[in-house]
Structure 1
Amino acid sequence: MKYVVREKMFAVGDDYWVEDEHGRRAFYVDGKVLRIRDTLEIQDAEGNEVAVIHQKLLSLRDAMTIERGGQTLVTVKKKRLAFLREVFRAELASGEELEIRGDLIDKEYDIEYEGGGAPAEGRGRLARISRRWFTLRDSYAVDVEREDADAGMLLAIAVCVDHIVAKEHDSD
């Protein structure tokens, strides 16, 4: 299932609907204002909380956490020793790790289990983030490739990566 994301939606205070590939409203992103740290809440179409994204305040590198029901699900941060390209790591509460690699600035990257592995083993690519399906420069797709994947969490990871990358490049 593909979800259409508008690139400029990630400023705190911005609210936006993410639509599925059929144009139906799938997720609502609510940028919370008047908070000490950047906070975004993602809700499903019925208004149920899917994820709350916070920027980590005390961190050597930019990092963001994704919570659900008050529990931290994922911490997203830049991988330390990535020599050729920017690579991010998503550390799941279960102890597993996802790797986010590709062209993060131009929105052509994958979210996959670290170390890859065959999809039959429960490993491999979970989602592909891409602009290539759109003529509008401010849109990109989050293509969730596996039916058993948590689409809300993968969308939240893409939001975190986009937010951190934009913040790094704005400060340059």
Structure 2
Amino acid sequence: MKYLVRDKIFEIGDVHWIEDEEGRHAFLVDGKALRLRDTLELKDPEGRVLVTLRQKVLGLRDAMTIERGGEPLATVRRKRLSLLRDHYRVTLVEGTALDVSGRVLNREFVVAYEGELLAHVSRQWFRVRDTYAVNVVREDADAALLVAVAVCVIRMAEREREG
């Protein structure tokens, strides 16, 4: 299932929809305003919070956390050694690690678990410049988590480029 994401929707204080490939509302993105740190909520069409994305304030390396139900679900960090491609590690609380690699700023990267493709993020499927898709490859994968991972690594890469 492909999810259509517009780059500029992830501004703090904004509320926007992510649509599925059929044009139906799949996730509502709520950028919480007036918070001390960067916070986004990904909600289902009925308004229930599926995951919360938070920028970590302290720490030596930039990181974002993904929470579900108020509890930590995963931490996203950039890997230290990256030569030609961007590499990020998503560590879930139970110890599972997902690898993210590709050209994040170009919106061309993959999310994999032990070499198995879970999601492919690409701009190539769309002609609209500020739009990309998160193609969740496995039917049993957690789509909200994979969309959240894509958003986290893009925000982190953009922050690194700016800073």
Q: How does the TM-score come out when normalised to structure 2?
A: 0.97
| 1:78-97 paired onto structure 2 within 5 Å | 78-97=78-97
Q: CA deviation at 1:84?
A: 2.7
Greater CA drift, 52-61 or 81-90: 81-90
Residue in 2 aligned with 1:21?
Answer: 21
- Across the aligned residues of Structure 1 and Structure 2, the Cα RMSD in angstroms comes to 0.9
Residue in 2 aligned with 1:137?
Answer: 129
Greater CA drift, 80-89 or 148-157: 80-89
Q: CA deviation at 1:59?
A: 1.5
**Pair 1:147 & 2:104 matched:** no
Cα distance in 2, alignment partners of residues 94 and 82 from structure 1 = 25
Matched letter for residue 77 of structure 1:
R
Cα distance in 2, alignment partners of residues 86 and 145 from structure 1 = 21
Corresponding pairs, count: 163
Cα distance in 1, alignment partners of residues 154 and 128 from structure 2 = 17
Unaligned runs of 5+ in 1: 117-123
Cα distance in 2, alignment partners of residues 35 and 6 from structure 1 = 23
**What secondary structure is seen at the aligned counterpart in 2 of 1:18?**
strand
Percentage of pairs with the same residue? 53
Q: How does the TM-score come out when normalised to structure 1?
A: 0.92
Matched letter for residue 8 of structure 2:
K
Q: Deviations over 1:17-74 (max 9, x none)?
A: 0000000000000000110100000001111111001000111111100000011111
Cα distance in 1, alignment partners of residues 136 and 144 from structure 2 = 10
